[in-house]
Amino acid sequence: MPVMTAAPLKVSRKQRAELERMAVSTSLPHRVVVQSSALLLAADGEANAVIARACSTTPDTVRRWRAKFEQGGVEAVGTIAPGRGRKPEIAQETIDAIVNDTLHTVPDDGSTQWSTRTMAERHGVGKDTVARIWRARKLRPWRVETFKLSNDPRFEEKLVDVVGLYLNPPERAVVYSFDEKTQCQALDRTQPSLPMTQGRGRTMTHDYKRNGTTDLFAALNVGTGEVLHQTRKSHKGTDVLAFFKWIDLHTPRDLEIHVVLDNLSAHKGPEVREWLAHPKRKRWHLHFTPTSASWLNLVEGWFAQLTNKRLRTGAFNSVAALTEAIDVWVSHWNADPKPFIWTKTAKEIVTKVKRGRAALTTQTKSATDH
């Protein structure tokens, strides 16, 4: 029996280009992709029965798609007529209430945030429904991000000074980012650990033995990534002075020394000030970061790498073992140093901080109804 062939669907060049784009889309709804493919076949003169087999549907459905396109064009592809289609599982009012409660309320028991189960119980829905609503709106009540806006009255002045050193360091000078990592603990585990095997990570007991602490002083050469370091028993002004002398000894005499550091009182102690005031230390320049702005000190990133890669899951039966481990790790770092590249301008940071302060002020006023 011959196949009844309908006249080719009339499609303009612009409409065909749009249908072709929609037919290969990975983000549009599936029904839009299938209908677009069917309409392209119809435009090529294929019979409705052939199109139906290719799109896993019926010829009558293909005829409806053609009629809808002839009446509404590309905009009608994939649309659902009022009263048709899958009915929503949950009323929009309930969805809005769940979102509002997630953003603006807390449970009656004093918990700081909702869980899917407590929210589901509140609104008489399933926990998976709450999870879908949160996921679709990128709501994550369990997550909290920390922040701290500096209240330093000289914030912008200090910021511009430090960022200027990073982005445009002076000639014939070395820029160091300096800080202490205090109370590095020599922790040993109470039982031997098991090594990693296929399908299972290595193990480590949750409890530990404390075998003493040491303070790590480090100065990161911003230009090269190399690190000068010492471990000391304390971090008083005398210890800071001793490390400054260590920096001075290891920096060529013909170069200026610029040091970025925080506002720890030991960094400004009388012994440090007296040593820096000597004419022989004219090449020394200290650049203090704003208060509550440790993120501005590049050496903090290096401390994080040391902690994550060597200290956090290490086992040390003495301070001497901890010190040796630090020395070995730093020596390998300096064999192939990787500088930390600062990219943000002072203007970009100031703009972001102002935006944060404005948001904080608005939220505070809203919460107190002032």
DSSP assignment of 202-248 equals ----S-EEEEEEEEEEEEEETTT--EEEEEES--SHHHHHHHHHHHH
Nearest-angstrom CA–CA distance, 296 and 155: 11
pLDDT at 354: 81
Cα→Cα distances 328→300, 322, 335, 336, Å: 19, 10, 11, 13
Cα→Cα distances 321→41, 185, 186, 192, 301, Å: 74, 11, 8, 17, 24
pLDDT at 1: 46
Contact 74, 32 (CB under 8 A): no
What topology is assigned to 172-192+206-339 in CATH? Nucleotidyltransferase; domain 5 (3.30.420)
Burial of 174 (0-12, 13-18, 19+ CB in 10 A): buried
In tens, the pLDDT along 26-52 reads 888 888 999 999 999 999 999 999 999
pLDDT at 289: 94
What's the residue count for the chain?
370
Nearest-angstrom CA–CA distance, 338 and 222: 10
Closest to 266 in 3D by CA, of 294, 293, 247, 238: 238
Nearest-angstrom CA–CA distance, 102 and 278: 61
Nearest-angstrom CA–CA distance, 9 and 59: 15
pLDDT at 366: 52
pLDDT at 5: 67
pLDDT < 70 positions in the chain? 1-5, 83-88, 363-370
Phi then psi for 358, rounded to 5 degrees?
-65, -45
